[in-house]
Structure 1
Amino acid sequence: MMRRLPMAVLLLALPGMAAAQGRTAFHAGPVFTDFAPIATIRSDVTVPAGTRFKVAFDVSDAAAPGDLSRAIETAARFINQHVDAGVLLSAISVAVVVHGAAPDDLLQSAAYADRHAGKANGSANAIAQMIGKGVVFHLCGQSAASRGITDNELLPGVKMSISAMSSHALLQRSGYTLNPF
């Protein structure tokens, strides 16, 4: 005998089922293959040939200890999406400005583990790969000072700035736009 589920139960289950189906559209990107998955999109908004992207991402929320920062991954996803759509990697410049609660995500292993009960920095590998592809990471010196972070604790390639505000101002002067996500 077949039992019928109440309509309320079915309505509650639909969003989860739709989300699970939607995730199957995502795949590894062409630049960062082990993080920052993307969906290939047939877009009605075309990127004109010769477009050069110069985009700054503002990161102030820390990742959960041991996890990859979703905000840092968003910057990598931006690169993957656009290269997947035909934009040359050489035409994409990305800067990530880190401040607030997020500076620990830029720490080397020992410094991170000391601050997070021995856990590994889940963002370190992604940051190294991103720096290897030309992404610039600026750490707000004011946030670093407030958290007791020194230059020698930073991942290789991370640049200390006077502040996040100064980094954003200088990046804007250099033609970077601020990504609102």
Structure 2
Amino acid sequence: MAEKITFLETRLQNAEKEVLELRSLTAGRVAFSAALRDSGSGNIGPFTTATPLQYKKVFSNTGNSYNPSTGIFTAMVSGMYFFRFSMFNNLASPPNSVVSLMKNSERLTSVWDTNGSDINDMGRNAVDIPLKVGDNVFVQLEPNRLVYDDVMNYNTFSGFLLFTM
């Protein structure tokens, strides 16, 4: 009986090691990329309040941390992340587009195009930021602003885990 218990304890310890190894392999696999529209074309906005943009055309979502229904990325793993977003201004004159990358309720960076004589400007921005489990990151359309998108996928939002912490 003692030999059997020792044998089972060894097997349990080996199984626990394998589980930890598998967790470490999958923990660093977080990446997503999405575009604003999955079909159609036109302006999105304006809204009277700041509104998270919902990037509906999902190119990838490894780790399922990005939710296309809300437009919000939620960290499932604590670590250092890279995020990038692009904005194409509205096609109405005058241009009136402002979007911001948000971490929870904190504005990190923005891209804007307003009050110009041209109407076809585009901008991009990116950050590396630390996130804890449960932190949210999203692109916010600022109040009374618009963005334009169509099947060319001008407006994108992407991110990935650089390393765990």
Do they superpose with TM above 0.5? no
Q: Which has the larger radius of gyration?
A: 2
Flag the structure with higher helix content.
1
TM-score when normalising by structure 1: 0.27
Greater RCO (Cα-Cα under 8 Å, separation 6 or more): 2
Flag the structure with higher strand content.
2
